Amino acid sequence: MVDDLKNKVVLVIGSSWGIGEGTVVLFASYGCKVVVHGRNEERIARVAAKCEQVSPFGYKPLTVAADLENLEEIRKIVSQTIDHYNQIDVFVCNIAMKDKLYEILDENILKCFEAAYSRRIRAATYLAHLVLPYLIETKGNMIIVSSAASSIPLTGGTLTLIPHMCDASFDMLSKTLACEFGSKGVRVNTVNPNVVNTESNYTLLPDPKQVKAILEKAVQKTALKKLIEPEDVAKCIVFLASNAASFITGHSLVVDGGFLYK
């Protein structure tokens, strides 16, 4: 699994922290030529340094700071990747929520929906549009980070309705692209974790106690009795990108520690 990834060009969206950081660093450790993307240049630089440090070849990552709500900046991510590496072998679409969450009866619910649609669904669709021609050339693959809650309501009630609606859209995007482009040698899958132990959990909800309660509930309802770490998700993404998963496409790989069955 490790050897076949060597020298592959891997573009990881949202890789300056959390799941994206764990993923891009793991790809770098396998000898991939990676692209670190985010909004905060200090975070990007920190992750890029980690990637270079773990790379067996000392590869220095390409770094791109871009806002996913700006179509011109989305185009910049892809164009700079092609200008620098001349190809894309693996595309990891990891787009998290940015703005605070609201329940369905809150007057801010449509504002939350519109922000999530622009940042997540629109951006993911446009990125797929831009990247697919290059994946066809390399017979590469795409992995979209979704959620275990894309198919069944989990913790959080309607407070997490908007992000989970987006995740359901990601699953359908993945399955549709897998059917359409499989004959061209492109594989498309999602990874679907439950609650992951990242600092972003505390940026989405107004009350830290609320976050703590959701995290504790997630642990109690998980068969393994612990939160998922970003590296746990990253390993599954790398697996799907490798030849070990060469006959897997259109699949949603649930990474939840047994949450759905508990």
What is the tens place of the pLDDT at every residue in 6-16? 999 999 999 99
The domains of the chain, with CATH numbers, are: 3-261 (3.40.50.720)
The whole-number pLDDT of residue 67 equals 96
The whole-number pLDDT of residue 217 equals 79
Q: Which residues of the chain have pLDDT under 50?
A: none
The whole-number pLDDT of residue 204 equals 64
Beta strand segments in the chain, E: 9-12, 33-38, 62-65, 90-93, 141-145, 187-193, 252-255
* CB-based burial, 229-244: b 16+ in 10 Å, e otherwise: ebebbbbbbbbbbbee
Burial of 168 (0-12, 13-18, 19+ CB in 10 A): middle
- State the alpha helices, DSSP H only, in 61-122: 71-85, 109-116
The whole-number pLDDT of residue 258 equals 82
